[in-house]
Structures are given as C-alpha cells and as structure tokens.
C-alpha cells in the first residue's frame, strides 16, 4: 500500500512554456502532499506543502507565481512550472503523508524536467 505516482516521469520543454506535473496517491487519500526539487548530487529541497482544498504553503525563496500548486482532490496534486527557464531544469519529487497520520511520507518516483 501507500503508493504514489508521478506523471510524466520526464519532460523536455522550451523556454517560456509551462509544464504540469501530476502527483497521485494511488491507494490512499492524502490530505497533505509535498513538492521537492533535487539538483544533481544535492539534497532534496522542500518547495511547498500542498493541502487539499486550500492554498499551498511555499517555503522561503520559492516563487509561488512560478510554481503553481493545486491540490484539487484527496488523490491528486499538480505542480505547474510557468514560463520555464533552463535554470528550472531539475528533478521534481512529490510525496504524500502517511494516511495513518504518522510522520512518514511516501514519495513518488520523480519527474525529470529539462528546459531548453
């Protein structure tokens, strides 16, 4: 149980375009999901906390107008990278909080975004 999927697994887009990444909890309902990004050989940096039915909470330094997060249902959160630039190229990972209310998060497989 507790499987989280992401789509797409990789995407290449041109500068100036927008890209949407989906995160789904497949066998449980997730009231809270998280979005991270990871640069090569670096740690996972939390970008934002996504709560179903309310606005996302962004970490300091993350542009909310650039990284739009929507958590429209208990099984789906989306991250849209707007007006993408090459520096947005990264590995984006989502996670969902354990449905039993514990601290553990279950992570999706990640999405590799390359902006050309």
| Binding positions for another protein, rule: CB under 8 A | 4, 6, 32, 34, 36, 42-46, 49, 91, 93, 95, 97, 103-110, 112
Query: In whole angstroms, how close is the CB of 65 to another protein at the nearest point?
Result: 22
Nearer to another protein, 81 or 97 (CB): 97
Nearer to another protein, 84 or 97 (CB): 97
Nearer to another protein, 63 or 104 (CB): 104
Joined tokens for residue 54? 């309310």
Query: In whole angstroms, how close is the CB of 83 to another protein at the nearest point?
Result: 26
* Spatial distance between the Cα atoms of 12 and 29, rounded to a whole number of angstroms: 30
Looking at the DSSP assignment, which residues form a beta bridge with residue 107? 95
Query: In whole angstroms, how close is the CB of 16 to another protein at the nearest point?
Result: 26
Joined tokens for residue 68? 């739009």
* Spatial distance between the Cα atoms of 79 and 105, rounded to a whole number of angstroms: 18
* Spatial distance between the Cα atoms of 71 and 79, rounded to a whole number of angstroms: 9
């Amino acid at each position: 149980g507790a499987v989280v999927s992401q789509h797409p697994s990789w995407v290449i887009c041109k500068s100036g375009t927008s890209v949407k990444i989906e995160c789904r909890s497949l066998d449980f309902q997730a009231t809270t999901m998280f979005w991270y990004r990871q640069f090569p050989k670096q740690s996972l940096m939390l970008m934002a906390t996504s709560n179903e039915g309310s606005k996302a909470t962004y970490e300091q330094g993350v542009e909310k107008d650039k990284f739009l997060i929507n958590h429209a249902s208990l099984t789906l959160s989306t991250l849209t990278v707007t007006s993408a630039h090459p520096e947005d190229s990264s590995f984006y990972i989502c996670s969902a909080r354990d449905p039993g209310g514990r601290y553990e998060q279950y992570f999706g497989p990640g999405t590799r975004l390359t902006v050309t």
